[in-house]
A = this chain, B = another copy of it.
Amino acid sequence: MCRFLVYRGQPGYVADWLIRPSNSLIRQSFHAREMPEPLNGDGFGLGWYGDGDDPTPCVFTSLTPAWSNRNLRRLATHVRSSMFFAHVRAATAGSVVSEENCHPFRFGRFLWMHNGQVGSFRKIKRQLRRSLRDDLYDHVAGTTDSEHAFHLFLQQLEPVRARIRAELARDPDRLRRYREQFFDLLGSPRDKDRNGGDFVDRAVEILGEFDGDTLESALLETIARLARWSAEADSESSFGNFAVTDGRTILATRWTDDPDRPPPTLYYSAGMSTSGADGRSAPAMVISSEPLDDLHDSWHSVPPGHLLRVDPDWTVRLDPIEVPATA
């Protein structure tokens, strides 16, 4: 199993959560406390959102362990972000350690991380892939259950994306604004077919907005589908944590279909943080596989079978994950 970390709050150096706390994610990469095997040395990744106009995150991944990677250390001490995902990986036995298999995974404006396993993944892989539309099918680059689950989640958003595309087709002004914003971001005058329609798919990936309810439904449906397919395929259990964001809403789950074992731990710490610069306070939220320090009062456990949701307006909810029994 892996360890991960989500931060949203005032812009701060990534190192303040990744490196400096007593039980930082870097420390968890070689000394995780709350897992039987304390080692997460099979690659890592960091994905962060900037404060400019670009709604897509930057992602840095690497195969060498997080604890000794100099690029990571330099980035973490220089990159400031108000929203980032970080992940240290412990590859499942038999799973390939490759850069394509490092979390967080990215698609357009979305980031996705996973800790745990999708039960009977090898047996349900064909079904899962079959359910994906072509661009998502082609976008899968690695071999993990995690990345496949991400694309299944993205597939659940397809109806909304299709609706946005249809609206754009009917609204030339909005289409023009999309086009301008999209090519401002891409910045290149040499991208072919600026005026054609082909950019729309990619623009909607990046610019399309989703409300929290839509995202939550998509994630719950993803879990339900995986559970149903796994149950049909085999008795191997599923368990784990998913974390996903579109750069605005954050969702994180703690779930298993195994009645005999609790799902992997997941904690969150919500509070106010004070900016060094001007002394103003602002809300902050950290979600983490393990508490980052020993201030036990400040860390809350996400209850088993629940989904934690942080909306753009800082509303925080804990919703039960209901997976319908297989017929």
Contacts and interface: CB of A to CB of B under 8 A. Distances in A.
A68 interface: yes
A68 B101 CA distance: 13
A11 to B, nearest CB: 9
A83 to B, nearest CB: 13
A206 B303 CA distance: 46
Given A15-B187, A100-B96, A122-B138, A58 B41 contact: no
A16 interface: yes
Interface stretch (A59-67, A159-167, A250-258): A59-67
Interface string A209-239: 0000000000000000000000000000000
Interface in A60-85: 60-65, 67-68, 70-71, 74-75, 77-80
A71 B78 contact: no
A68 B91 contact: yes
Contacts of A61: 71
A235 to B, nearest CB: 18
Contact of A41 (B41, B91, B143, B190): B41
Contacts of A125: 137-138
B96 A98 contact: no
Given A41-B65, A58-B77, A126-B137, 16 more contacts: A16-B187, A20-B187, A20-B190, A39-B41, A42-B65, A52-B80, A54-B78, A57-B78, A63-B64, A64-B64, A70-B96, A70-B97, A77-B187, A100-B100, A129-B129, A141-B143
